[in-house]
Amino acid sequence: MAISTSKAGRIAIIGASGYGGLQLVKLINEHPKFEISTLNGERSVGKSWNEINPFMKLLEDKEITKINIDEIAQYSEYAILSLPNGLSSQLTHLLLEKGIKVIDLSADYRFKSLDKWKEVYSKEAAKYKRDDYELCEEAIYGFTEEFSSEISKSRLIACPGCYPTSSLSVLIPFLKQGLIESEGIIIDAKSGTSGGGRNPSEQLLLSECSESIKPYGVMGHRHTAEIEMIASQFAGHEVHLQFTPHLVPMVRGILSTVYARLRDPGLTAEDCKTVIEAFYKNQPFIDILPVGTYPATKWVKNTNKVMISVEVDKRNGRIVLMSVIDNLLKGQAGQAIQNLNIMHGLESDIGLPMITYYP
């Protein structure tokens, strides 16, 4: 059994007003071993949390304060950064210097190479000057089910993106064991509108996206590089794949359908299901569905679960892998708390929802 390193972990939430921040506040407020130390932001400075979020009142109301590293260090052991790409990097080194462990929800530390980050996030790189090469090397990629040992010893966690979480959850078991060809992998992914964030956007207006579905970022979506980086790590060689995201008219949830060619075309869907079950044995947030049962986003809504199904097309030797997650929980804030649990010496599932409200 894991043993907590202290009675209660004090958590600063930096960037609490977005959708990710809202989830973090709820999860930490209800967590038996953590408490919110400070709520920090920019747009809502000086206002009380309950004033601007009457639908999510805290028993002990807190004021949104301007980001103050010394104040955060005085009252916190951990800081979760739910900030735009680029901005997190301006604060992370300051927090670490004060002894604060950092969990970052942005993409700033997902790449071991800062130069690669600058290539993929070129607009942010032009706005925010960075030379924190060593921190990029140090940061642990927060795919909890695979890197829990490293996460437990780390002071800087880079939480994966929502699409990478969903896609890699089904790819990693087969790439790591060399069961699929690394050439010709196709990821067809569909996400709800909350993945676009809380800031107003024309494409996310009800009249624009309702009763419609459309692809976006078909060539060069930023998550492609992230998925390829981790896929290459597990395959043991460079992997190039096709990733196409789609916007669907629902609020939350991601469905990823992944196509790949089996090295052994004799494998059946039941064989492949056994592979995934063995790989994720004793992982509380991974559910493997029976062959012939296909996952629905509603089944994992408001939970930290990943539901996975697999089929094999015997005609062409292709495997079809399907996964669903809640993009705001397992794809963002829930995975952050899962990593925080491990950093704090707790079981990974403490304080995280596992059963949806249905329908």
Beta partners for residue 338, in sequence order: none
The three-class DSSP label of residue 251 is: coil
338 close to 144: Cβ distance less than 8 angstroms = yes
Q: What angle, 0 to 180 degrees and rounded to 10, lies between the N-to-C axes of helices 269-279 and 162-176?
A: 110
136 is catalytic: no
What average pLDDT does this structure show over 283-312?
98
pLDDT at 6: 46
Nearest CA among 326, 34, 284, 301 for reference residue 166: 326
Beta partners for residue 113, in sequence order: none
Residue 255 identity: L
Answer whether residue 345 shows pLDDT above 80.
yes
Q: What are 211's two structure tokens?
A: 């009763």
Per-domain residue ranges of the chain = 9-138, 163-326
pLDDT at 3: 35
Q: What are 202's two structure tokens?
A: 């024309």
242 close to 183: Cβ distance less than 8 angstroms = no
Q: What are 55's two structure tokens?
A: 């639908």
pLDDT in tens, 151-183: 999 999 999 999 999 999 999 999 999 999 999
What average pLDDT does this structure show over 75-79?
97
Q: How confident is the model at residue 199 (pLDDT cuts 50, 70, 90)?
A: confident
Half-sphere exposure of 265 (CA within 13 A, CB side): 7
Answer whether residue 311 shows pLDDT above 90.
yes
Nearest CA among 21, 70, 5 for reference residue 199: 21
Q: How confident is the model at residue 44 (pLDDT cuts 50, 70, 90)?
A: confident
Q: How confident is the model at residue 8 (pLDDT cuts 50, 70, 90)?
A: confident
Q: How far apart are CA 192 and CA 204, in angstroms?
A: 10
Contacts of 327 (CB under 8 A, 6+ apart): 162, 166, 191, 192, 194, 195, 252, 253, 254
62 close to 48: Cβ distance less than 8 angstroms = yes
Q: What are 66's two structure tokens?
A: 């301007």
What average pLDDT does this structure show over 194-204?
87
What average pLDDT does this structure show over 112-116?
98
Q: How far apart are CA 7 and CA 32, in angstroms?
A: 10
Percent of the chain with pLDDT over 70: 98
How many C-beta neighbours within 10 Å does residue 256 have?
30
81 close to 317: Cβ distance less than 8 angstroms = no
Nearest CA among 13, 80, 20 for reference residue 40: 13
Q: How far apart are CA 337 and CA 183, in angstroms?
A: 34
How many C-beta neighbours within 10 Å does residue 26 have?
15
Answer whether residue 111 shows pLDDT above 50.
yes
Q: How far apart are CA 189 and CA 14, in angstroms?
A: 29
pLDDT in tens, 115-137: 999 999 999 999 999 999 999 99
- Give the DSSP H or E segment for 141: strand 140-141
Beta partners for residue 87, in sequence order: none
pLDDT at 122: 97
Catalytic-labelled residue, pool 136, 159, 162, 209: 162
pLDDT at 4: 37
Q: Is the peptide bond before 359 cis (omega within 30 degrees of 0)?
A: yes
pLDDT at 197: 86
- Mean pLDDT over the full length of the chain: 95
Q: How far apart are CA 285 and CA 83, in angstroms?
A: 26
Superfamily of chain region 9-138: NAD(P)-binding Rossmann-like Domain (3.40.50.720)
The distance from CA 353 to its chain's CA centroid, rounded to whole angstroms, is 15
Answer whether residue 68 shows pLDDT above 90.
yes
pLDDT at 201: 87
Superfamily of chain region 163-326: Dihydrodipicolinate Reductase; domain 2 (3.30.360.10)
pLDDT at 5: 41
Pairing state between β 101-104 and 140-141: unpaired
